[in-house]
């Protein structure tokens, strides 16, 4: 039980860091006059639309192929996104 509480604490810290980084990234990219709109769009898409699509597609893949291909696909998507993130953040 104690290790689980520690692990969940680390997940919370990781989420806080990710949220802060996303807010600061949108702030750096979007013009000052559109900050509220940019933040709202980013949060809507990343925590609303993306989660809904991922749950639907992930459920289908898991149901048809099992957990291992879903895990591998998640890793491939992450590694495929690295060049795009690198380009945006440069």
Task: Give me the domain span that covers residue 77.
Answer: 2-89
Q: What is the pLDDT of residue 89?
A: 78
**Mean pLDDT along residues 43-57:** 91
Beta carbons of 38 and 29 less than 8 angstroms apart:
yes
The region that residue 74 occupies, defined by phi over 0 for left and psi between -120 and 50 for alpha, beta otherwise, is: alpha
Say what the pTM is: 0.62
Q: What is the pLDDT of residue 29?
A: 94
Tens of pLDDT, residue by residue over 5-27, are: 999 999 999 999 999 999 999 99
Q: How many distinct structural domains can be found in the chain?
A: 1
Evaluate if residue 31 carries a pLDDT over 90. Answer: yes
Tens of pLDDT, residue by residue over 53-71, are: 999 999 999 999 999 999 9
For 58, the token pair is: 């992930």
**Mean pLDDT along residues 29-49:** 94
């Amino acid at each position: 039980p104690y290790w689980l509480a520690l692990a969940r604490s680390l997940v919370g810290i990781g989420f806080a860091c990710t949220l802060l980084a996303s807010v600061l990234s949108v702030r750096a990219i979007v013009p000052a006059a559109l900050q509220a709109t940019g933040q709202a769009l980013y949060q809507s898409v990343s925590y609303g639309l993306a989660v809904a699509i991922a749950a639907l597609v992930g459920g289908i893949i898991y149901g048809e192929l099992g957990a291992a291909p879903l895990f591998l696909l998640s890793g491939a998507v992450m590694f495929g996104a690295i060049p795009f993130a690198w380009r945006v953040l440069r």
